[in-house]
């Protein structure tokens, strides 16, 4: 008989992590994409390469770098323990941070494409009528890049939901605390519990498929 608590806990935790990570990633991605699509400065290509680097690095490399940056020997880790009396690593927040880092390149690239597709003449016209930078962004650029924003959020959520390697290294696999769907599937397969692995695998496929299927529908609705 299936233990429904053990079944639902990784799903619930994965959705919570993906939801928070996708919101944070979208905010960071919008800010970075807007800046990079409008700014011109020396070393711009280096900065953009750094933004996209987690997309091509092995997840274990990303996890190791996060472990060094957030571990107890780092100033960030020490500050965390001083403020909250608890380390960042092997916590729920570590899973969120890992998901944000690996999902950021997809969100950034999608939003940058959206901002570059906005007619610059409309932005210039708004500025000529006295609109400030924030007003141009809020009322002109962001609404015109709405489809890219929607796509970026869905991709960021799906990528955060499926994050495994970096999460395993800095958040671990603590049931009920940091065990997400990908890590739960890994442990189930490793321990020979294939029926549970299949149920979780089908669950994450359905969720991801539904998200990707929903994207064009929402885009068409926003156009109307």
Asked if pLDDT for residue 6 goes beyond 80, the answer is no
Alpha-carbon span 206 to 199, nearest angstrom: 11
DSSP for 128-184, written as a single string: HTT--HHHHIIIIIHHHTHHHHHHHHHHHHHHHHT--HHHHHHT---TTTT--HHHH
Contact 184, 200 (CB under 8 A): yes
Contact 157, 18 (CB under 8 A): yes
What is the DSSP code (8-state) at residue 40?
A: -
Backbone region of residue 55 per phi and psi (left: phi > 0; alpha: psi in -120 to 50; beta: other values): alpha
Domain residue limits, the chain: 4-223
- Give the chain's end-to-end CA distance (angstroms, integer): 48
Higher pLDDT, 92 or 5: 92
Contact 140, 118 (CB under 8 A): yes
Asked if pLDDT for residue 115 goes beyond 70, the answer is yes
What is the DSSP code (8-state) at residue 25?
A: H
Q: How many CB atoms lie within 10 A of CB 104?
A: 25
Tokens 């007619």 belong to residue: 119
Asked if pLDDT for residue 223 goes beyond 60, the answer is no
Q: What is the mean pLDDT of residues 26-30?
A: 94
Q: What percent of the chain has pLDDT over 90?
A: 44
Q: How many CB atoms lie within 10 A of CB 186?
A: 17
The dihedral built from the CA positions of residue 189, 194, 197 and 198, taken in this order, carries a sign that is: positive
Which CA distances in Å does 39 have to 25, 33, 44, 54, 60?
Answer: 20, 10, 8, 22, 33
Q: How confident is the model at residue 217 (pLDDT cuts 50, 70, 90)?
A: low
Q: How confident is the model at residue 185 (pLDDT cuts 50, 70, 90)?
A: very high
pTM: 0.88
The CATH homologous superfamily to which domain 4-223 belongs is MetI-like (1.10.3720.10)
What count of residues does the chain have? 224
Asked if pLDDT for residue 224 goes beyond 80, the answer is no
Contact 102, 59 (CB under 8 A): yes
Q: How many CB atoms lie within 10 A of CB 120?
A: 10
């Amino acid at each position: 008989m299936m233990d429904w608590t053990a079944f639902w806990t990784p799903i619930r935790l994965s959705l919570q992590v993906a939801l928070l990570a996708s919101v944070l990633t979208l905010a960071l991605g919008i800010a970075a994409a807007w800046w990079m699509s409008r700014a011109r400065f020396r070393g711009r290509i280096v900065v953009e390469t750094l933004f996209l680097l987690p997309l091509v690095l092995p997840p274990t490399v990303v996890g190791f770098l996060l472990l060094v940056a957030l571990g107890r020997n780092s100033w960030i880790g020490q500050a965390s323990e001083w403020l909250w009396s608890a380390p960042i690593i092997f916590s729920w927040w570590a899973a969120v941070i890992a998901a944000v880092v690996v999902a950021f390149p997809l969100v950034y690239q999608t939003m940058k494409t959206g901002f570059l597709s906005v007619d610059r003449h409309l932005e210039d016209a708004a500025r000529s009528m006295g609109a400030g930078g924030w007003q141009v962004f809020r009322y002109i650029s962001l609404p015109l890049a709405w489809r890219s924003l929607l796509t970026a959020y869905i991709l960021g959520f799906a990528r955060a939901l499926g994050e495994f390697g970096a999460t395993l290294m800095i958040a671990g696999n603590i049931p009920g605390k940091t065990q997400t769907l990908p890590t739960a599937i890994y442990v189930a397969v490793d321990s020979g519990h294939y029926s549970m692995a299949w149920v979780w695998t089908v669950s994450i496929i359905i969720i991801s498929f539904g998200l990707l299927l929903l994207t064009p529908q929402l885009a068409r609705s926003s156009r109307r």
